[in-house]
Amino acid sequence: MFRSAALRSLASVSRSRSIPIASRAFSTSRCIRNEALAPTSLDVFTEEEQMLREAVQRFAVDVVGPKVREMDENECMDPSIIKGLFEQGLMGIETSPDHGGAGCSFTSAIVVIEELAKIDPSVSVLCDVHNTLVNTVVRTYGTQEQKDKWLPLLAEKTLGSFCLSEPASGSDAFALQTRAKKEGDHYIINGSKMWITNSSEADFFLIFANVDPSKGYKGITCFIATKDMGIQIAKKEQKLGIRASSTCTLNFDDLKIPAENVLGGEGKGYKIAIEILNEGRIGIAAQMLGLAQGAFDKAVPYTYQRKQFGQPIGTFQGMQFQIAQAAVDLETARLLTYNAARRKEEGKPFTKEAAMAKYWSSQVAQRVAGSAIEWAGGVGFTRETGIEKYWRDSKIGAIYEGTSNIQLQTIARFIQKEYS
């Protein structure tokens, strides 16, 4: 495996430049694209980010690619893929090298998610949730003891899962019904979670539960739990798309969690959820962007190979206009996504930009993936080419980590605040 000749080189380049290492936090992580801090275009990357992109491209094509169809058909993630992600250093992208991570920028994580999604969005979302949700919460809100204990495991071998949604609390996440009761030096958790990504393979879980319902959302608390504490993995969903990514219902029956596993303080779970989902939406935007680009890259070459009426179908004006429009859509999604990522790194407000990126990228993914099937005709409709899988996978982009309507509502609130 090629774990990180690229990452080792990346680290050596950083040392030789004497670039100060910025703190990695929701609003303070910083990426210096040029030492003079002169304005640059949004698709300019540091040498480290570009090296990482190239390494992930090779891993995705050579290692993930041959297993995509089998994993989709079996609706199961190949364990060797998860192992490979850890071996490549892709499961602790922003985590400090002191804790076994790569110590890279937030945009590096976005680049990884995008590149993986070009080949398989299921693998991409596994990596996305682990990095932009699980790792970031522990890194940002954990005590020093919690970070020292858990971050090395999360960077090197232990897959994480983020447990917020419930049967009765999807978009209204703070209506959750899972309860936690303090008993001595432990909490007892009862309830259930639904639609939980990575839950079948994960051994580390961030569970949101309410310790005092009388306080409403201010009673919500985040807990660290491990599967061996007694988490019950119940129904595994059979889905339209991202089939290799596990999505399960979890049950907690008198789940006993040490008080030292409270993350961020009692009653602070709502703050954690709000902050992390803003960041996570940029990750989903990157996933949808990569998905759309993957479908485009598979279908467009076919239009110049397939001939009808004596010429390649891609040279007919009707087809040319469709392909050109898709290219424009891809570029707008790319710029929105990179802009949101850079704003986050630069410590600027990014909630509106993240919502815009997530909303638009999910729309573009559905449109481009659907068009890609039509460009390839009957061949595109078969599972042999893998083009139809991109369309199936694209539908989730408008649903998870905030539906499209939630994103539009968020954007509208910022507009109202600015103009009213």
**Catalytic residue annotation:** 401
- Compute the average pLDDT of residues 102-122: 97
- 3-class secondary structure, 239: coil
Tell me which of 8-12, 100-104, 248-252, 299-303 is least confident.
8-12
Pick the more confident residue, 30 or 188.
188
C-alpha of 109 from chain center:
9
Task: Output the average pLDDT for the chain.
Answer: 92
Q: Name the nearest CA neighbour of 188 among 225, 234, 141.
A: 225
Task: Report CA-CA distances (Å) from 158 to 39, 93, 109.
Answer: 39, 14, 18
Distance CA 4, CA 85 (A): 11
Q: How confident is the model at residue 9 (pLDDT cuts 50, 70, 90)?
A: very low
Integer Cα distance of 311 and 281 in angstroms: 43
Kindly tell me if the per-residue pLDDT of 230 is higher than 90.
yes
CA triple 236-240-245, angle to 5 deg: 50
What is the model's pLDDT at position 39?
73
CA distances from 121 to 48, 107, 259, 267 (A): 24, 18, 36, 34
| pLDDT reading at 1 higher than 90 | no
Say which residue, 32 or 164, is predicted with more confidence: 164
Q: β-pairing, 160-163 with 262-263?
A: unpaired
259 C-beta neighbours (distance < 10 Å), count: 13
The DSSP 8-state label assigned to residue 166 in this structure reads B
**What local confidence, expressed as pLDDT, does residue 3 receive?**
47
Question: pLDDT by residue (tens digit) across 181-201?
Answer: 999 999 999 999 999 999 999
**What DSSP assignment string belongs to 349-382?**
--HHHHHHHHHHHHHHHHHHHHHHHHHHHHHHHS
- Least confidently predicted of 94-98, 174-178, 196-200, 409-413: 174-178
Enter the tokens of residue 21: 């290492």
129 neighbors 200 (Cβ within 8 angstroms): no
**pLDDT at residue 33, as a whole number:** 52
Single-letter code of the amino acid located at 62? D
Q: Is the pLDDT of residue 27 over 80?
A: no
Question: 234, 275 in Cβ contact below 8 A?
Answer: no
pLDDT band, very low/low/confident/very high, at 48 (cuts 50, 70, 90): very high
Q: Which residues pair with 279 in a beta bridge?
A: none
Q: Which helix (H) or strand (E) holds 161?
A: strand 160-163
Distance between alpha carbon 166 and the CA centroid of its chain, in Å?
A: 20
Per-residue pLDDT, averaged over 401-411, amounts to 96
Extended strands (E) in 242-347: 247-258, 262-263, 307-308, 311-312
Taking each helix axis from N to C terminus, what angle separates 351-381 and 404-419, rounded to the nearest 10 degrees? 150
What is the longest distance spanned by two Cα atoms in the chain?
80
> In the predicted model, what is the mean pLDDT of residues 168-183?
91
Residue-level pLDDT at 37: 62
Report the Cα 269 to chain-centroid distance in Å.
20
